[in-house]
Structure 1
Amino acid sequence: MAPIRAIGFDADDTLWHNERFFKLTEARFAELLRDYAAPDHLAERLLAAERRNLGRYGFGIKGFVLSMIETAMDVTDDRVPATVLRRIVEAGHDMLEHPIELLPSVQDTVADLHGRYTLILITKGDLLDQERKLAQSGLGDWFDGIEIVSDKTPDIYIRAFAPHGGARAGLMVGNSMKSDVLPMIAAGGIGVHVPHGQEWALEAAEPPKDEARFHALENLSALPDLVRHLGD
C-alpha cells in the first residue's frame, strides 16, 4: 500500500451527533400518528418511503420530512389532519436549527493530524444543512478540502482524493460501513470504521472479510496511532 497522504472524514455521526435527532423526530412522528398506526408498523412504512425517495430527494432532513408527510398520508388514507402535517414540518424545522454537538475527541484528533496529512471532509446530504453544521462545528479551518456530495461511491472517492495523491494514498474514516468504508476500499484506499452506536437501517452493511485495507476502531481518538502504525 502507498504511504498515506490524505485522510477523509465523514461528518454526521463521525464528527458530530446526527442520527439521534432523527430517532427523536421518529418518536415524535409516532406520537402524532398513534391513532392511525402502531409504532412498529409506522416505522416500517417510513423506512420504505425513505428507501423509495432516496433517488428523488437524496439524503438529509428535507427528504426525511417529505417521507414522513408521504407516510402520514398513506397510513391515514389521505385523511391526515392539517395540524399533524404542520407539526411534522415544524419537527423538520427543529432538526434544521438544532445546535451542533461534537463527538468526544474530535477536536483533538483533527488537530493532531492537521499539518501532517491533507484532511478532507467528505459528507453527503443537503448542501445548505451540511454547510450550516460545518460552520457551527468550528472545524472548517482544519480541513484542506470540503466535499458535499449527493452519495458516496467509489468514483466519488477517486475524484475527491485525486488531487491529493489518489485514493490509493488515502484513508477514509466514518461511522457508516456502507458509505464510508466499503466504497473507499473499492476505490483502492483504506477504510476505517468508527461506529457511532446509532445507525440508520439504510446505512447497514457487513464488514469486509480478509481485507487488509479495512480497520475498525472503537473511537476516533485511536485514529492518529493507527495512521502512524500504517506509516511504519
Structure 2
Amino acid sequence: MTAVLIACAHGTRFEEGRVVVRALLEVLRDTAPAGVEVHEAYVDVHGPYVTDVVAAARERTDDIVIVPLLLSTGYHTEVDLVEAADGIPVAPALGPHPVLAEILADRVRAVGSEQGDAVVLAAAGSTRPGAVVDVERMADLLGSAGVEGPVIAAYAAASDPRIAAAVETARAAGHRTVAASYVLAPGHFSRVIEAAGADLTTAPIGADPRLATVVWERWAAARRPVAAAR
C-alpha cells in the first residue's frame, strides 16, 4: 500500500517564497523512500489546503503522516494541523534540530561573520509559549554549531525581544551584528528581518538538501505507531 507524507507549509503571497517551497518538495520527492508519495499542502493563504489534501489522500490509503514545513511549534502545529488531520499523525515542527543549526551556521559564515559578532537568531514569532522555547533551544544549538560570539533569540512578531531591538542592544554592547534568518523562505517575515538594521543578514534557509533528512526523520518517528498497529 502506498504511504503518503503530506508536507504542509504555511503559505505565502510572495511568489519567490512559493518557488522555494516547491523546490524543497522536489528535494523531498527525490529522497523519498520507495513507495512513499510526497503531497503538497498549505495551512494558510493559498491552496492546496491541508484539509483538502488529507481528504484526497484518505481515499487512497490510511498510511498518512503530516509533516509541517514549519520551523517551530505554534498555533498552526498545535491547533490547525491537528484539526485538519482528524486522527492522522502530525509530526513535530522541523526545529529545533542540530541539522538546522548546521545550516544556519553555514549561512552566518557565508555572509562574512567574524569572531566577536553577535548573531541574532531572527525568528517569525508566535503567541504560543512553546514557540519561544523552541527558538531559544535553537539559539543554544546554533552556539554549539561553531558560531562564535553571543547568540540572541529575537522575533519579528508576537514575542520579545523584537529583532530590531535585539540588534540595537547588541550594537550598543560593542558588537557587529548578524541577523540569522530563521525562516524557511522569502516572504513577509524575511522582509522584516532585512529591515531590522543588522550589519549582515543571511538569506532564508531555503530548499537546502539537508532539510530532507529532518523531514524524513520526523515522518519516520510519527509513522511508527501507524506501522506498528498493522
TM-score of the pair, normalised by structure 1:
0.40
**Structure with greater strand share of residues:** 2
**Structure with greater helix share of residues:** 1
- Bigger relative CO (Cα 8 Å, ≥ 6 apart): 1
Please say which structure displays the higher CA radius of gyration. 1
TM-score of the pair, normalised by structure 2:
0.41
